[in-house]
């Protein structure tokens, strides 16, 4: 058996040596009683304790869980799965074709790495997969004496930190990338150790690694809180924008990614809002709102980019068609969409914390991944994550028949042709998965099927609750399932009785996907585990990706013939043009990801410093070792360097920052003698601190007080900083067309902002320490009021 494309022969030999050892151990393991097999876990843990070496445990640990899987799950991992497991233990990405059984593969390295007692996490792209895999694999881990936690989002219920901590403390945790990311950010907003719940990041396996590490990485995670001043312009401006027409009141760029008012539109706006000059600086808010509303109406389409569910605008993940939990558009765009859809306008929140997936996963000591489609992006994966992609052969040859695309000129032709195929296959009883690129198109197909009286299920963002049931039925005789790309990854459709004889599942794609990997994943719902299967894609020149990413010539051709379409598939030349459009879309995705990553560099450096400092304070035990007086002195010295200082300013500084009650005459505040002045100010501060000491009887109370003052200062200024950087980024992005290097400019500004934040932070800490008041409660505990 050959693992292709190994970067070096050493990996190849090592993997095979390990596989041979594991196979060699198999008969011995098979002879063990259940109890003897189960006792292995404790034995391995003990040995790890002695040696701190997981590699030497690999053959036995893999052989043990392999045998246990046979007994508990009635599935014996094939050699190729063992190979995939070894690759992942080594911290690489295993590329195993769709349906080869990655869920079972992952348990081997997870079991081995959990023996260290350090955090061992499996991340999947969505909650359906996390829960499904956790549920299926739980009996196996428990048989071997390891605990499994499944961490999915809180939903309506608020989950307390203790409960989260209990899940993360399990030996192995299954979760999603979004939940893990948000948990990490929330954990770093905790004000004391009892609210912290995350473990130190050790080992993670990323399922569907390319989707998570690449596709999801195009949008950073942002936690919002603390509303901004709410604007009342959204509805007003929306009413205006709906009166405008394309190419009259506003224009869109070629790729339909940018939109602006035409000069007629500007005149119209000036009349509508009774302003003389719209671009006068006093109307910037109005202009901003008009831009947001224009974008809401032209660049965001209901049932494509978002859906309206229970009176809320919910964003959709373009990659997998699912609702993006806890995510809203920033900078007022979400509110503009709400105005467009006439639902309640939610407050526009400030960004409080943010991180990209790239930087989240870099926090782990070891990362590994698996996917059916990663090899093509290996360069980027090595570049960004230093992970190699090793391809594992299939257990049985793939039998699926993949037919070439059928390209039509217009959408109606495409719909008709694809429906013809559906009818033909359905007549034979072969189950069909009809895959669409948007909710909207899935609803259109549902209507067409209804008209043909073909019973079917629809799986899209509106009915995700029924997902498991729909998937269960999807492989049965005669079943037709219309699904968005929700059914594109990880979904395991099991074939019903007699279906293999009919050719297995037929996947019919109805749109060219944003990238080739999404397409392969969809095809991969059929022909799993060596089963028969069929796949074919229908495309039209009106598909979004073709319109956006193919040249002028195609557009001209389309315009010329669209009113009298040929009603037959276009030739091979057009298939190539469509392929090319997909390649361009992929390249645009990659450059977008690199841009996101380079923007995050500045935030990353700052975030690491801040989080480190917070953790130092939070977890500091015993006496509080931070040079409080040093901090105070620094601020005083910085203040005394203010140009043109006068006694009045010094007095203000004292009352604003050091003491409300200091009695000091202006005469004493001689600005010509800074050293003396410094001593006076330090004396005032010391005096205030001493007053506090009266309440802070024990060292622990004192430590708590100092910690709280400093943490509060860090958080207030850091949250402000995150928001500033987020706005700065949006501003820089809006100006990318200009000649300057936007990322460089952003880093420069971000660095300046950081310096300002440090000063603010120090000043706030000073105020918290000196101007707060402490009262003792009846039970002896303290209440602290901050100014
Ligand atoms: N060793 C095995 N013996 C028998 N059946 C297996 C074995 N491994 C996996 N399977 C079955 O193969 C099917 C596919 O497995 P799974 O869904 O994990 O594939 P996958 O590689 O994750 O696919 P995808 O790339 O689509 O996510 C499942 O029904 C699973 O039960």
Mutate to test the pocket of ligand 1, among 67, 77, 93, 101 (most ligand atoms within 8 A of CB): 101
User: How large a percentage of the chain has pLDDT more than 90?
Assistant: 62
Name the pLDDT band for 156 (thresholds 50, 70, 90).
low
CB of 73 closer than 6 angstroms to any ligand 1 atom? no
The 10s digit of each residue's pLDDT in 240-284 is: 999 999 999 999 887 777 889 999 999 999 999 999 999 888 888
Q: Distance (Å, rounded) from C-alpha 41 to C-alpha 29?
A: 13
Instruction: Identify the pLDDT of residue 2.
Output: 52
Superfamily of 401-570 according to CATH: P-loop containing nucleotide triphosphate hydrolases (3.40.50.300)
Give the Å distance between the CA of 217 and the centre of ligand 1: 26
Average pLDDT value over all residues in the chain = 90
pLDDT > 60? residue 49: yes
Instruction: Identify the pLDDT of residue 1.
Output: 54
Q: Distance (Å, rounded) from C-alpha 373 to C-alpha 389?
A: 10
Per the structure block, which two tokens stand in for 265?
């539109």
CATH topology of domain 229-347: Pre-protein croslinking domain of SecA (3.90.1440)
CB of 100 closer than 6 angstroms to any ligand 1 atom? yes
DSSP H/E element including 644: none
CB of 742 closer than 6 angstroms to any ligand 1 atom? no
The 10s digit of each residue's pLDDT in 369-422 is: 999 999 989 999 998 888 999 999 999 999 999 999 999 999 999 999 999 999
Q: Comparing 9-223+358-391 with 401-570, is the CATH topology the same?
A: yes
Q: Distance (Å, rounded) from C-alpha 93 to C-alpha 378?
A: 9
Higher pLDDT, 727 or 39: 39
Which atom in ligand 1 lies closest to the alpha carbon of residue 491? Answer: 26
The 10s digit of each residue's pLDDT in 554-578 is: 888 888 988 988 889 999 999 999 9
Q: Distance (Å, rounded) from C-alpha 159 to C-alpha 188?
A: 16
CB of 104 closer than 6 angstroms to any ligand 1 atom? yes
Region 593-617: mean pLDDT is 87
CB of 492 closer than 6 angstroms to any ligand 1 atom? yes
Is the ipTM value over 0.95, yes or no? yes
Instruction: Identify the pLDDT of residue 354.
Output: 84
Region 728-736: mean pLDDT is 74
Region 743-748: mean pLDDT is 87
CB of 105 closer than 6 angstroms to any ligand 1 atom? no
pLDDT > 90? residue 313: yes
Name the pLDDT band for 740 (thresholds 50, 70, 90).
low
User: How large a percentage of the chain has pLDDT more than 70?
Assistant: 97
- Please enumerate, by residue number, every residue annotated as part of a binding site for ATP: 81, 99-103, 492
Per the structure block, which two tokens stand in for 278?
């719209």
The 10s digit of each residue's pLDDT in 434-473 is: 999 999 999 999 999 999 999 999 999 998 889 989 999 9
Instruction: Identify the pLDDT of residue 7.
Output: 44
Higher pLDDT, 477 or 553: 477
Is the four-CA dihedral 712, 717, 723, 729 of positive or negative sign?
A: negative
CA 127, 128, 134, 136: dihedral to nearest 10 degrees? 180
Q: What DSSP state is assigned to residue 655?
A: I
pLDDT > 50? residue 326: yes
Which atom in ligand 1 lies closest to the alpha carbon of residue 371? Answer: 25
Q: Distance (Å, rounded) from C-alpha 321 to C-alpha 344?
A: 24
Mutate to test the pocket of ligand 1, among 67, 80, 99 (most ligand atoms within 8 A of CB): 99
CB of 97 closer than 6 angstroms to any ligand 1 atom? no
Mutate to test the pocket of ligand 1, among 107, 132, 209, 529 (most ligand atoms within 8 A of CB): 529
pLDDT > 90? residue 489: no
Highest mean pLDDT among 470-484, 726-740, 742-756: 470-484
Name the pLDDT band for 6 (thresholds 50, 70, 90).
very low
CATH topology of domain 607-785: Helical scaffold and wing domains of SecA (1.10.3060)
CB of 101 closer than 6 angstroms to any ligand 1 atom? yes
Q: Distance (Å, rounded) from C-alpha 449 to C-alpha 410?
A: 20
Give the Å distance between the CA of 482 and the centre of ligand 1: 23
CB of 381 closer than 6 angstroms to any ligand 1 atom? no
Q: Distance (Å, rounded) from C-alpha 185 to C-alpha 164?
A: 14
Q: Are 207 and 490 in contact (CB under 8 A)?
A: yes
Q: Are 512 and 84 in contact (CB under 8 A)?
A: no
Q: Are 61 and 109 in contact (CB under 8 A)?
A: no
CB of 490 closer than 6 angstroms to any ligand 1 atom? yes
pLDDT > 80? residue 779: no
Q: Rounded to 5 degrees, what are φ and ψ at 668?
A: -70, -20
Of the given ranges (218-222, 234-238, 286-290), which has the lowest mean pLDDT? 218-222
Of the given ranges (44-48, 261-265, 767-771, 773-777), which has the lowest mean pLDDT? 773-777
* CA-closest residue to ligand 1 atom 15: 101
Instruction: Identify the pLDDT of residue 662.
Output: 82
Region 775-782: mean pLDDT is 75
Radius of gyration of the chain (CA): 31
pLDDT > 80? residue 734: no
pLDDT > 70? residue 739: no
Per the structure block, which two tokens stand in for 517?
């990997």
- The residue with tokens 């594992």 is 392
* CA-closest residue to ligand 1 atom 3: 75
The domains of the chain are located at 9-223+358-391, 229-347, 401-570, 607-785
pLDDT > 80? residue 10: no
Q: Distance (Å, rounded) from C-alpha 183 to C-alpha 177?
A: 10
As beta bridge partners, residue 367 has 204
* CA-closest residue to ligand 1 atom 5: 75
pLDDT > 70? residue 735: no
Give the Å distance between the CA of 94 and the centre of ligand 1: 15
* CA-closest residue to ligand 1 atom 28: 101
Name the pLDDT band for 736 (thresholds 50, 70, 90).
low
CB of 475 closer than 6 angstroms to any ligand 1 atom? no
* CA-closest residue to ligand 1 atom 2: 75
Q: What DSSP state is assigned to residue 515?
A: S
Superfamily of 9-223+358-391 according to CATH: P-loop containing nucleotide triphosphate hydrolases (3.40.50.300)
- The residue with tokens 């992006």 is 377
Burial of 394 (0-12, 13-18, 19+ CB in 10 A): middle
* CA-closest residue to ligand 1 atom 30: 101
Burial of 382 (0-12, 13-18, 19+ CB in 10 A): middle
Name the pLDDT band for 92 (thresholds 50, 70, 90).
very high
Give the Å distance between the CA of 179 and the centre of ligand 1: 25
Name the pLDDT band for 635 (thresholds 50, 70, 90).
very high
pLDDT > 90? residue 47: yes
Per the structure block, which two tokens stand in for 708?
């709280």
CB of 77 closer than 6 angstroms to any ligand 1 atom? yes
């Amino acid at each position: 058996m050959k693992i292709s494309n190994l970067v070096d022969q050493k990996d190849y030999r090592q993997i095979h040596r390990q596989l041979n050892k594991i196979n060699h151990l198999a008969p011995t393991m098979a002879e063990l009683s259940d109890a003897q097999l189960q006792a292995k876990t404790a034995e391995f843990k003990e040995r790890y304790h002695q040696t701190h070496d997981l590699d030497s445990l690999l053959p036995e640990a893999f052989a043990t869980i392999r045998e246990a899987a046979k007994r508990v799950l009635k599935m014996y991992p094939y050699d190729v799965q063992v190979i995939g497991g070894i690759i992942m233990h080594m911290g690489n990405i295993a590329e195993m074709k769709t349906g080869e059984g990655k869920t079972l593969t992952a348990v081997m390295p997870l079991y081995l790495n959990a023996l260290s007692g350090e955090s061992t996490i499996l991340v999947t792209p969505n909650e359906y997969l996390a829960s499904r895999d956790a549920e299926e694999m739980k009996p196996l881990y428990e048989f071997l004496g390891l605990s499994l936690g499944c961490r999915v989002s809180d939903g309506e219920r608020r989950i307390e930190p203790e409960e989260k901590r209990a899940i993360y403390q399990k030996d192995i945790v299954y979760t999603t990338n979004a939940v893990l990311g948000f948990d990490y950010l929330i954990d770093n907003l905790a004000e004391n150790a009892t609210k912290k719940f995350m473990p130190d990041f050790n080992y993670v396996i990323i399922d569907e690694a390319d989707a998570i590490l690449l596709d999801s990485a195009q949008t950073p995670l942002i936690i919002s809180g603390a509303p901004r001043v709410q604007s009342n312009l959204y509805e007003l401006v929306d009413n205006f924008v709906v009166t405008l027409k394309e190419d009259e009141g506003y224009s869109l760029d070629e790729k339909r990614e940018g939109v602006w008012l035409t000069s007629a539109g500007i005149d119209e706006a000036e009349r509508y809002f009774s302003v003389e000059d719209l671009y006068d600086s006093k109307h910037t808010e109005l202009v901003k709102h008009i831009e947001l509303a224009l974008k809401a109406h032209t660049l965001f389409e209901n049932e494509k980019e978002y859906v309206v569910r229970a009176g809320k605008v919910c964003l959709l993940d373009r990659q997998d068609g699912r609702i993006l939990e806890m995510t809203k558009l920033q900078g007022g765009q979400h509110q503009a969409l709400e105005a467009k859809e006439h639902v309640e306008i939610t407050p526009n929140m400030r960004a409080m914390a943010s991180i990209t997936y790239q930087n989240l996963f870099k926090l782990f000591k070891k990362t590994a991944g698996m996917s059916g489609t990663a090899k093509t992006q290996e360069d980027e994966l090595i570049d960004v994550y230093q992970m190699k992609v090793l391809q594992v052969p299939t257990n049985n040859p793939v039998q699926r028949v993949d037919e070439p695309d059928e390209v039509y000129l217009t959408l109606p032709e495409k719909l008709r042709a694809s429906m013809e195929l559906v009818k033909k296959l359905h007549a034979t009883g072969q189950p069909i998965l009809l895959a669409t690129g948007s909710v909207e198109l899935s609803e259109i197909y549902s209507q067409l099927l209804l008209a043909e009286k073909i019973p079917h299920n629809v799986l899209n963002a509106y009915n995700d609750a029924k997902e498991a049931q729909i998937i269960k039925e999807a492989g049965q005789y005669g079943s037709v399932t219309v699904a968005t790309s929700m059914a594109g990854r990880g979904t395991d459709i099991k074939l019903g009785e007699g279906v293999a004889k009919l050719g297995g599942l037929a996947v019919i794609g109805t749109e060219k996907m944003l990238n080739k990997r999404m397409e392969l994943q969809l095809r991969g719902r059929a022909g799993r585990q060596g089963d028969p299967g069929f796949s074919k894609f229908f495309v039209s020149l009106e598909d979004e990706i073709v319109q956006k990413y193919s040249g002028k010539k195609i557009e001209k051709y389309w315009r010329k013939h669209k009113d009298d379409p040929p009603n037959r598939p276009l030739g091979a030349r057009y298939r190539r043009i469509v392929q090319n459009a997909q390649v361009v879309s992929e390249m645009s995705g990659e450059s977008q990801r690199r841009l996101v990553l380079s923007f995050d560099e500045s935030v990353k450096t700052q975030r690491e410093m801040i989080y480190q400092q917070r953790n130092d304070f939070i977890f500091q035990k015993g006496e509080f070792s931070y040079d409080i007086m040093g901090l105070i002195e620094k601020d005083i010295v910085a203040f005394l360097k203010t140009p043109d200082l006068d006694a009045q300013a010094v007095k203000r500084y004292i009352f604003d920052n050091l003491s409300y009650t200091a009695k000091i005459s202006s005469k004493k505040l001689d600005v010509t003698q800074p050293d003396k002045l410094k001593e006076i100010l330090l004396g005032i501060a010391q005096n205030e601190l001493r007053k506090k000491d009266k309440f802070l009887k024990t060292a622990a109370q004192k430590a708590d007080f100092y910690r709280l003052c400093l943490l509060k200062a860090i958080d207030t200024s850091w949250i402000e900083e995150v928001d500033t950087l987020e706005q700065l980024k949006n501003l820089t992005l809006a100006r990318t067309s200009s000649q300057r290097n936007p990322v460089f400019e952003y880093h420069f500004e971000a660095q300046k902002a950081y310096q300002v934040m440090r000063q603010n932070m120090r000043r706030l800490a000073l105020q918290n320490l000196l101007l707060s008041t402490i009262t003792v409660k009846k039970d002896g505990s303290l209440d602290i009021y901050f100014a």
